[in-house]
Amino acid sequence: MSPPDWDVLRRALGVSVSDEALRHALTHSSYAYENGGADNERLEFLGDAVLGQSVTALLYQHYPELPEGELAKRRAAVVSTHALAKVATEIGLGHFLLLGRGEERTDGRTKPSLLADALEAVIGAVFIEQGHKAADDVVIGLMGETIKDPRTFDETADPKTALQELAASRALPPPRYVLSEDGPDHQKTFSADVFIDHPQHSPGPVGRGVGSSKKLSEIDAARNALSALRGS
């Protein structure tokens, strides 16, 4: 793989941040374990907090009529793994990830959890090097349209509930999830198959998903099942 062109990423982020800071933010723990150096987990922790604060302020300003409970739901949707991974994919963040051999073999550059974590780490790196205003500007630039788009807050924000409601509207039994896991204890990947046990459906799963936790794999499976059922 060719060396990363950090200028491309800087233009996508709209901020001047050093190669060193970006490299640190995009170093996955699997790469650091194999090659030495610091991984991006502390920056991810920081970036998560910065992102949450910025998104909260944006929602507060953009939706003055909404009560606290609805604002909280919308914030959860905007900072979800699904939403962050979508933004990370749009700016090509996966190309810049530094991954260990195992993650490379298992298409780590397209894993939603890795992309979302890396985006948070980048925000954290900008905060450390350029300050709160620069980090806030990055969040606004990347997430502003997501916050304004009502589709962010539709069934994609809670696909498991949406799938259950869709099944009920079609007089079908509730969705049933079957889980499996793979990988070492410190780096497990979970898979979920969701079934709707009814004669009008094939015996196979109506959706499949993967994630870094059981919950995330079920959410991914439900989202894929919704897409499949909506098209049927």
Euclidean distance between CA atoms 140 and 152, whole angstroms: 15
Q: Are residues 39 and 146 in the same domain?
A: yes
- Whether 220 is catalytic: no
Shared domain check, 181 and 94: no
Q: Which member of 41, 68, 70, 120 is catalytic?
A: 120
Whether residues 27 and 140 fall in one domain: yes
Residue 135, burial from CB neighbour count under 10 angstroms (0-12, 13-18, 19+): buried
Could you count the other beta carbons within 10 Å of the beta carbon of residue 188? Answer: 12
Which domain range does residue 84 map to?
6-156
Q: Round to whole Å and give the CA distance between 28 and 40.
A: 6
Cα 124 to Cα 16, 100, 104: the distances in Å are: 14, 22, 24
> What does the pLDDT read at residue 216?
86
For residues 141 and 198, state if they share a domain: no
Q: What gap in Å lies between CA 80 and CA 173, rounded to an integer? A: 28
Residue where one domain finishes, among candidates 116, 137, 156: 156
Query: Within 10 Å of residue 83's Cβ, how many Cβ atoms?
Result: 22
Q: Is 126 in the same domain as 168?
A: no
In a domain, residue 1? The reply is no
120 catalytically annotated: yes
Instruction: Tell me what pLDDT residue 232 has.
Output: 54
- 21 and 101 within one domain: yes
Q: Tokens 């894929």 sit at which residue? A: 224
What span, in angstroms and rounded, lies between the C-alpha atoms of 157 and 79? 10
In this structure, are 49 and 111 located in the same domain? yes
| Judgement on whether residues 109 and 215 belong to the same structural domain of the protein | no
| Residue 191 in domain | yes
Tens of pLDDT along the chain (232 residues) come to 566 789 999 999 999 899 999 999 999 999 999 999 999 999 999 999 999 999 999 999 999 998 998 888 888 888 888 789 889 999 999 999 999 998 888 888 988 889 999 999 999 999 999 999 999 999 999 988 888 776 666 555 678 888 888 888 888 899 999 999 988 877 788 999 999 987 766 678 999 998 888 988 998 899 889 888 876 5
CA distances, 94 to each of 7, 13, 106, 152, 222 (Å): 15, 14, 13, 22, 24
Q: Which of 69, 228, 83 is nearest to 154 (CA)?
A: 83
Q: Taking a C-beta distance cutoff of 8 angstroms, is the pair 17, 126 a contact?
A: yes
Instruction: Specify the residue for token string 């500007």.
Output: 137
Catalytic residue among 39, 48, 158, 220: 48
Is residue 152 domain-shared with residue 200, that is, in the same domain? no
Q: For position 161, what pLDDT does the model report?
A: 85
Name the DSSP class of 151: G
Residues annotated in a binding site for Mg(2+): 44, 117, 120
- Is 21 found in the same domain as 95? yes
Instruction: Give the DSSP per-residue string, 34-81.
Output: HH-S--SHHHHHHHHHHHHHHHHHHHHHH-TT--HHHHHHHHHHHTSH
| 135 and 167 both lie in a single domain | no
Annotated binding-site ranges: 44, 117, 120
Contact 184, 100 (CB under 8 A): no
